[in-house]
Structure 1
């Protein structure tokens, strides 16, 4: 059997193994494998050579029936790389992805993405900031800096430069799988982030006796949902819109 006659979902599975395993972050690899599961479900019998523009559009249309447009766009982008390689290798005669139309179901009611400055101050005033590191301090730091949740979890005392009032972002914490340090999203994610003098002073006192290479916010397994629940209760207490920990990044950017 030639590669042309191979089932497309098998071709894509092997493409992931050859080109993506060990080359992308674990969370990105999971997304590729989820896409592979979907195409196995949508086109279990389609052979590589049978992938025409019309057939590809039908696949996108079917996927879009249960997914919003942005998710369908991501699905399309994850398939496109493998398909273009198949075209380059002569397995498909023309590019089936050319002029593809991206559709999607109507988005759900969108939650509040960010707080205004008055709401943010109310949030900070209602954080239970005691003398020990806890989830409230994590929320404060993300609110003040706009760093990612995984970046905040990876911070160690060594990453704080109180003389320059900054923190060094050079790694993340893989709280979903390995519960250990991991690389940042991309090279540009390695950066120095300024913190205000008050936050700098507060954290200088908090972490002065902690091991310099151990993450300050991690003590066992960490769940994003746990921090979001703490944040939800604070928002309710502060009488402001409930926002997610990810939403604090938008708040900082606003």
Structure 2
């Protein structure tokens, strides 16, 4: 019989008994919250009732083992947005390796599978795929389900895919700002304006509450974001903590944003007093579709995604000479190296200017 009990250190221990190869064993896992433990037990019991071995067997299909492994060890532990990435890996396995058994996942087979997917995607995407499947295989080996570790010295090398430009140049940034300030403050217009001036993620902006705004110091507190379901789409009206601890941040906003906020509220009497972009929350797709229309109306020919507004904010500051450390903190990155990696192309542009300046001095 499955059970959940509280340990001495305040955590919750879940146990699900099962029969494997004629022997009775227990699947065990520890959680910080009781709700996560209850969900794990329910998922594991469901797998048992469907006659699927939650911990796998050498004769099961690898894709089935992988799906069960994710349900058993990842659901209830990882954020939904992260689980979405595992769902993508599962879809690839169902497409590229639907009939391969777990015991047949030898090192050459694993390498060929990675090579095959590598013909379609960039190295960064392939690395995520590799981490997921090798993680599952290593645990199968550690549990004694397979007798060899097939992940030793696996090589990951995908396509060199040139990334599509997803930011606005300085003149495009200015043109868009000028256009927005000349238009009525609809929910979409004010969202785009807020993204350009804050650099916050779409989910963080949608989750903004009136209580997050300090009208005296002219700051906003980014402390929550819209939660995604496994399909990758935000779940309406449901918000949770920010992406990382460093994403919880207080950032300064210019006077023009507060003036626009006042006008936005005057022009939208139905705006919820708690959530800036409530009470009816628009979908991410709605913002994306309307952004394209706004860009065209502003005379901007380049097409960017809503996340491209965040990149545009960062590039605008970096191009103007604002320090990378400040931009990193404003964006909520865990460290400045992440910022440097993402915006290296802007730093390279600035390096040319700095070289010319240095040569003049020398």
TM-score by length of 2: 0.62
Aligned pairs (5 A) from 1:1-254:
3-105=57-159, 107=161, 110-127=163-180, 132-174=185-227, 176-183=233-240, 184-204=242-262, 206-207=264-265, 211-213=272-274, 215-220=275-280, 222-240=282-300, 241-254=302-315
Aligned to 1:202, the other structure's residue is in SS state helix
Instruction: Give, in angstroms, the shift of residue 42 of structure 1.
Output: 2.5
Instruction: Give, in angstroms, the shift of residue 14 of structure 1.
Output: 1.3
Distance 1:161 1:246 in 2: 25
Distance 1:253 1:13 in 2: 38
Is the alpha carbon distance of 1:199 and 1:106 closer, same or farther for their aligned partners in structure 2, counting shifts above 3 Å?
A: same
Instruction: Give, in angstroms, the shift of residue 251 of structure 1.
Output: 1.2
Is the alpha carbon distance of 1:249 and 1:173 closer, same or farther for their aligned partners in structure 2, counting shifts above 3 Å?
A: same
Q: Any stretches of 5+ residues in structure 2 without a counterpart? A: 1-19, 22-56, 316-362
Q: Any stretches of 5+ residues in structure 1 without a counterpart? A: none
CA contact (8 A) 1:133 1:216 kept: no
Alpha-carbon RMSD across the aligned residues, in angstroms, is: 2.6
Distance 2:123 2:100 in 1: 24
Instruction: Give, in angstroms, the shift of residue 52 of structure 1.
Output: 2.0
Instruction: Give, in angstroms, the shift of residue 5 of structure 1.
Output: 2.8
If asked which structure has higher relative contact order (CA below 8 Å, sep 6+), I would say 1
Matched length: 252
- Which is greater in Rg? 2
- Cα offsets for 1:141-179 (capped at 9, x unmatched): 001111011111111211111222211112212472531
Could you list the structure 1 runs, at least 4 aligned residues long, displaced by more than 6 angstroms after superposition.
none
Q: Which has the higher strand share?
A: 2
